Amino acid sequence: MVARPILILGIESSCDESGVALLEFSADSNRARVIGEKLYTQISIHQEYGGVVPELAAREHLTALPLLTDALLKEVGYSLSQLSAIAVTSGPGLKGCLMVGVDFARGLALATELPVFGVNHIEGHCLVPMLDNPELTFPYLALVVSGGHTELLAVRGVSEYEIIARTGDDAAGEAFDKSANLLGFGYPGGAKLAKLADATRSDAEWSTKYQLPKVMREQSGFSFSGLKTAISLLVKREGESLSTRRGEIAAAIQESIIEALVDKVTQVVQERDISRIVVTGGVAANRRLRERIGQLSTADGSGVRTFFPTLAHCTDNAAMIAYVGGLRFTRFGIPSKESLKIRPRWGLEELSV
Ligand code: KG4
Ligand code: ZN
């Protein structure tokens, strides 16, 4: 008898992206394929406020999630009755936004009697490279770099994580965005700063022009707040001439943030027996970071294989949530009610099966 495929609907609403995705797992493997996914980004709504307004974000999710789900199911020709389970982000993230997503999922579950999994958003970022790279297997080192998180962890299996380092203040994406803001880019400016940096940079030329502080050298984690202070002083000092030097400054900022990340990863790769590295989260879209991580090698000079999610799965998306839900469903079965508890702060070390 052929086993019925497992169909998981994923729902993401932890910040300013409303996402839904439908994934199909074969019953006997970790592998899944994306049947369809939809994302509604709220960036244009929050832009005029210079950052995400939690109340507005929650209201947008409330409107968007039912419409996106309906449109997705129609587009791919599936109905709710064919699903095996629903997975929804239950933390970490903005409380009101998480509540909207979880309540929407609970409503769908009430109507369909399907099991619902509350999924940790960071676990989604950590595991989605496996969805996108079928040749990637456990264990691996994961650098999670997003707007809200910067963590380096050993991923040994689903729910088997060891946090090696994390940021003591800003996240890497936040450092990109705040620096971009100081340079006059609109919110969120991280990707725009990176684009200008790439267009300007002629190798290491920037480093002789702008000395930005070495982020984090002697600390066990990451810290980006010193960089922010240095940039605001630099911007003041440049005054009128800032507009002509923006490209060089952007390149220096990008290099400084990436140097901090690559330094820490290099140290861990040299200390431990690492053969696979994953970089994930919004900042994993950064071209220069991909290039630098791709150049890493182990202490004995042997190469390290590097993996990234597709660009669409670097930033927030629902496919990663459906993927974690499916992996948990096939491994651990139906979740307890506890899994739907909203956890605005929820470290991976607190995860339970
Ligand atoms: O993962 P994500 O969508 O949201 C969170 O979970 O936080 O990441 C968004 C972050 C933003 O800070 C954005 O500026 C940054 O990722 N980002 C980039 C690039 N593309 C997005 N940062 C640097 N270079 C990029 N190309
Ligand atoms: Zn995220």
Q: What is the pLDDT of residues 20-33, one digit of tens each?
A: 999 999 877 779 99
Return the residue matching tokens 């989605």. Answer: 128
pLDDT digits (tens, 9 = 90+) for 35-62: 999 999 999 999 999 899 999 999 999 9
- The backbone torsions φ and ψ at residue 187, rounded to the nearest 5 degrees and listed phi first, read -80, 145
Whose Cα sits closest to atom 21 in ligand 1? 282
Three-class HEC string of 138-167: CCEEEEEECCCCEEEEEEEECCEEEEEEEE
pLDDT score of 130 more than 80? yes
One-letter amino acid of 161:
Y
- C-alpha distances (whole Å) from 268 to each of 112, 226, 280 are 46, 23, 17
Ligand 1: nearest atom to the Cα of 195: 26
pLDDT score of 246 more than 80? yes
What is the predicted pLDDT for the residue at 226? 86
Strands (E), 13-109: 17-25, 32-41, 85-91
What is the predicted pLDDT for the residue at 219? 63
Whose Cα sits closest to atom 20 in ligand 1? 191
Q: How many angstroms is it from 139 CA to the middle of ligand 1?
A: 25
- C-alpha distances (whole Å) from 48 to each of 148, 217, 255, 331 are 20, 36, 28, 44
Give, as residue ranges, everything with CB less than 5 Å from ion ligand 2. 146, 316
- The pTM of the full predicted model, rounded to 2 decimals, is 0.95
Q: Residue length, the chain?
A: 353
